[in-house]
Structure 1
Amino acid sequence: MRATALTSAAIALPALILAAVSHQGLHLQALFAIGLLLGMVLYLSRFGFASTYRKLFLYGDTEGIRAQLLMLMLATILFAPLLAMGSLFGKDMVGATAPVGWQVAAGAFMFGIGMQLGGGCGSGTLYTLGGGSLRMAITLAAFIAGSFWASLHMGWWQALPTLGVLSLGERLGWVSAATLQTALLAVLFFLLPRRMGALTGPTTWRNLFTTPWSLTQGALALATLNFATLIISGHPWTITWAFTLWGAKLAMLAGWSPDTHPFWLGGFQQAAISGSIFHDETSLMDIGIILGALLAAMLSKRLIFTWQASAGAIAASLLGGLAMGYGARIAFGCNIGAFFSGVASTSLHGWLWIAAALAGIRIGVRLRPKFGLMN
């Protein structure tokens, strides 16, 4: 009975959200639907970033890294024509770009440590929570707090030296940039030891939820869905802006005023904080990811709510979430908005992000046992 009620609620809730945003236009409904699909793909393929890099450092396992390289190659090829045109059907198409500087490096380094302690990255926190890991609710709460906290310090971080926005597409031309970057990613792919599994997984609609997806299938699906996000939203997939917004709205309930901090005086921020989260594109997609993972877990009959949280694990979740939230805000995004979408947009800040994050990840892996977390 409980399972039936949960299934009904998991199906009804997305339908209610779709109905609630129907008057805002089809694009919000479409982005929420993409969020649902992203959550399903992430869960069914177990496509993670935190575990992927931990396996790389501990065991030399490159399977997840090679899948990410495939994802980046396809996304680069798909993004380039739209970004070169600059608009589609009257809508501006802009890539995920940000200045290359100390701000990104510091934030990504913090994020790398945090993702190992928190047990997930930006996307991993959402889909793992949807898949039944209740510990991730602690990580998410701290993630939100850290992201809002960082927004109060953005003026200081943005005053640090930068090289400005460096986009290969803008500097070399989109054909040359996409060709160069795809070739580099391909070289990295073929240089890594070939430990990646074959392209196996569901072959029909009947076994879509019963047969585990390969990381290759997950990578190709995520690149395609990010491309769909770019078409509909005008910019690539992001995650952590929503956490900053949610934190600000909670702070306002406690009496905080956005008029007291420069970051929140911008037109976009003012509009977002004064409106409903159901009118915010990133918020809708994040909620969709959680619900999509929940639906996938139920349809695959693998939904089990777990609470594996010792005192050490709770402390790690709190510290890891805070580090990820703070780091993602000052670095202009997480593993999705800064790394995946940034590299796919040929922005060099995406490459800086992953380089700095890897340094943090190495430290985070070493810290995990001190909190009683298994490597």
Structure 2
Amino acid sequence: MLYMVISGLIVGALLGFVMQRGRFCLTGGFRDMYIAKNNRMFYALLIAIAVQSIGVFALIQFGVFEYTAGSLPLWATIAGSYIFGIGIVLAGGCATGTWYRAGEGLVGSWIALFTYMLSAAMMRTGPLGSFTSSVRSHTVGTDSIADTFGVNVWFFVALLTLIVGIILYRESKKPRRKVVQPKPKKTGLAHQLFERRWHPYFTAVLIGIIAMIAWPVSAATGRVFGLGITTPSANVLQYLVTNDSSFINWGVFLVLGIFAGSFIAAKASNEFRVRVPDAQTCVRSAAGGLLMGFGASIGGGCSIGNGLVMTAMMTWSGWIALLFMILGTWTASYFIFIRPAKLRTAVQGKAATA
């Protein structure tokens, strides 16, 4: 038990610290792909996936632990991930982003986090648990991409690594944007950790390493999986309500560690501030959290569990979920940001010609 507590908190704190300092926000990254035509954060995600994939399959190769992909709940993955993508735009952050932004003092993230935990708990073991099980029981074959094609999984790991290498090469050829760094108040390591802006690709490498480390550390407690947010988040609320210790596992301490690590990073970098949003943002955050919990439960994971971990495991569910999360994010971005802007422009244009 002590190992579970300490190791979960340490891995979570490292992840929360790195994500906060690196501003690793997949919601903003997916949204920027559509609105700003900026793929930088998506490329960073691919880097993290590749780093984790190489590390995890090397560990499996050496017999550190075993993993089986299982079957593919195709339609549940598509529907749940699309709904989750809509939810993260309303909530202002994905599952992990909500945890680490709550550690920065954002009250809106606290609201989204609570409704996310509530919705996920209802969908897992609450009154909608049987609905979730029923929807996810409809499968269409193996979830392993390698098994589908009858080839060694290292072929797809190498292919992803090659694609990431090409992206990095192309990115290195682009003119560098001059980033104005604020005048440093700290020196040495403190400046590097808490003041200097982290490059998203450097952040991605660190996240990939942490995601890889999570596998053997978690497996040592009997939980054979890597980073995961939705089920542990639901378990936190379920334990607080029922006092049932069966809900406590390594993942619970992981998400608590994310909050702690983000808080430490935000305080040390003077970025922690309690910020209370307006009523509209509060309602939107609450609705987003509910959709996140619902979608992640149906889809089998969030932007970390599916988008980072299951993609690295070369599963169909991971890559399909990532695609439909992005599509859901783009849909919500259109109706929340682009369409209202177009309507305002049209109204202003009519007023100008009147």
**TM-score normalised by the chain length of structure 2:** 0.82
Aligned pair partner of 2:26 in 34, 42, 49? 49
**Closer, same or farther in 2 for the Cα pair 1:65/1:190, shift >3 Å?**
farther
Q: Does 2:245 correspond to 1:275? A: yes
Q: Which residue of 2 aligns with 1:135?
A: 108
Kindly indicate whether residue 5 of structure 2 is the aligned counterpart of residue 28 of structure 1: yes
Match of 1:259 in 2: none
Is the CA contact 2:71–2:141 (under 8 Å) kept in the aligned structure 1? no
- Residues 63 and 197, structure 1, Cα contact 8 Å, conserved in 2: no
Q: More displaced, 61-70 or 125-134?
A: 61-70
Q: For 1:198 and 1:284, locate their aligned partners in 2 and report how far apart those are by CA, in whole Å.
A: 39
Check whether the contact 2:71–2:140 (CA below 8 A) recurs between aligned residues: no
Alignment check: 8 A CA contact 1:229 1:236 kept: yes
Shift of 1:163: 2.9
Q: 1:175 aligns with which of 154, 159, 174?
A: 154
User: Residue 59 in 1 paired to residue 28 in 2?
Assistant: no
Say if 2:44 is the partner of 1:74. no
* Greater Cα shift, 93-102 or 287-296: 93-102
Q: Deviations over 1:230-288 (max 9, x none)?
A: 12112211111112223444664xxxxxxxxxxxxxxxxxxxx83166x4111101000
Question: Identity percentage over the alignment?
Answer: 21
1:182 Cα shift? 2.2
Residue in structure 1 matching 2:199, options 204, 211, 214? 214
Determine whether 1:335 maps to 2:296.
no
Structure 1 match to 2:132: 154
Displacement of 1:111? 0.4
Deviations 1:69-102 (A, max 9, x none): 21122112112211234x32xxx34377662510
Instruction: State the match for 2:255 in structure 1.
Output: 286
In structure 2, C-alpha distance between the alignment counterparts of 1:331 and 1:97, rounded to whole Å: 15
Aligned-residue offset at 1:189: 5.8
Shift of 1:138: 0.7
Q: CA deviation at 1:178?
A: 1.6
Aligned residues: 324
Q: Secondary structure at the match of 2:272?
A: coil
Alignment partner of 1:38 out of 10, 15, 21: 15
1:229, distance to aligned residue in structure 2 (A): 0.6
Partner residue, 1:20: none
Amino acid at match of 2:156: A
Show structure 2 runs of 5+ residues with no match. Answer: 220-224, 342-354
RMSD across aligned C-alpha pairs, in angstroms? 3.0
Write the distance in 1 (CA, Å) between the matches of 2:57 and 2:147. 8
Q: Distance in 2 between matches of 1:190 and 1:240?
A: 35
SS in 1 for 2:141: strand
Q: Is the 8 A contact 2:69 2:143 kept in 1?
A: no
Tell me which amino acid in the other structure corresponds to 2:138: L
2:215 counterpart of 1:230: yes
Partner in structure 2 of residue 205 of structure 1: 189
String of CA shifts for 1:277-317, please: whole Å, max 9, x gaps: 6x411110100000110001111122111112x22212211
Question: Structure 1 CA distance, aligned partners of 2:175 and 2:196?
Answer: 21
Distance 1:154 1:167, change over 3 A: same
Report the Cα offset of residue 194 of structure 1. Answer: 5.0
2:74 aligned with 1:101, yes or no?
Answer: yes
1:246 aligns with 2:236: yes
Q: Which residue in 2 is equivalent to 1:300?
A: 269
Q: Specify the SS of the correspondent of 2:304.
A: helix
Give the AA of the match of 2:50: M
CA 1:58–1:366 in structure 2 vs 1: closer, same or farther (change >3 Å)? same
